[in-house]
Every structure is written in C-alpha cells, then in structure tokens.
Amino acid sequence: MVNVKMNNDYLLKNLRNVPDFPIPGIQFKDVSTLYKNPKCLKIMVNELYDLYKDKGITKVVGIESRGFVVGAALAVKLGAGFVMCRKPGKLPAETRKESYMKEYGKDTIEIHSDAIDEKDVVLLHDDLLATGGSMKAAYNLVRQFNPKKIYINFIIELTIEGLNGRAVFDKDVEMTTLLKI
C-alpha cells in the first residue's frame, strides 16, 4: 500500500473544520473551502495529476458527491473518462450495486453496468477516508468489472484513533492521500 503524504500547508490553512457536524463530537473536515478557492483546486488537481500521470488511467470513478468535483477535473487533465458512483436511484440506466455498513445502518452505491471494462485502469477518488466503508464498497464494485488495475485516492485521510480506514483494504491496494490529519 503506497502512502503519499504531501500535507500542502496552503491546503491545510484553507480547510474548514466544522465542530459538532453532523452530530455532537464530530470535527467535520469541510472540503468545500478547498473547492471554492481556485488556487487550492489547482494545487489538488496538479498534485494528483503528478501522482497518476504515468499510471495509464483510463477512468476516474468519483464517489458521490464530493468525489465528483476533483475526480472530474482530474479525469480531464489525465485524458480519462469519468464515472459516477452514486446512491441508489440516481443513475438512469442499468447498474451494478454494492452495499456496505455504516455507523448507523446499511447503505448502497451503484455504477452503470457499462461504465468500466477489462481494458480500463481505474482511479477511485473521494474527498475523505475515515472508516473506509464507502470506498471499500466502491472498490469491490469496480473489481466486478475486472479492470487491469485499480488505484485509490483521497484528498484527506483522517488519522483519528479508532477510524483506521486503511485497515479495510488489502495491503497490495495502492492508495494515496494529499492530506493526512
């Protein structure tokens, strides 16, 4: 498992922390402040491009919904297609589904059945790694398509005791993060 830790000071300074959201005791890391700042957005896309430009990425899969922002921009820069991984009922054509457990119940994600094939090299992207549940489900879902290779990326990895999102993935999964906090 690859562990890239860039921790760009400018990104860290512009990341908003929202106390007690969505429930008391949670310190929510709000990436919308990074998205609205053109310099931050450019830094993130350029750093990710540098990490993946030589990996042969043909599809970037963004996890709903914050994974769509940088994922789509990165896909354009890489010359790759962009695939949306969404909650049930949001995609109009035939889908494949994967369910996973969250702290407060079960959830499901979907991808169009024709979104990925065996020739693809896929980069899964989302904003934040905490427990790893949604990304593990997305990873399992993409594996059903038998692509050549799957990479995983997050903007932020939370290293708070008890979360350990990396632990849900096999050691050979190549995963990078831009910020580790």
Contact 129, 161 (CB under 8 A): no
Q: How far is CA 131 from CA 2, 161, 162, in A?
A: 18, 11, 8
Catalytic residue flag (residue 66): yes
Residue 10: its H or E element: helix 9-14
Closest CA to 174 of 138, 141, 139: 139
Catalytic residue flag (residue 143): no
Measure CA 141 to chain center: 14
The DSSP code for 166 is G
Catalytic option among 47, 66, 110, 157:
66
Catalytic option among 64, 86, 103, 118:
103
- Type of residue numbered 114: D
Residue at token pair 């990074």: 34
Tokens (6 digits) for 111 = 């991808």
Q: How far is CA 161 from CA 28, 89, 120, 129, 158, in A?
A: 15, 35, 36, 13, 9
The residues annotated as belonging to the active site are 66, 103
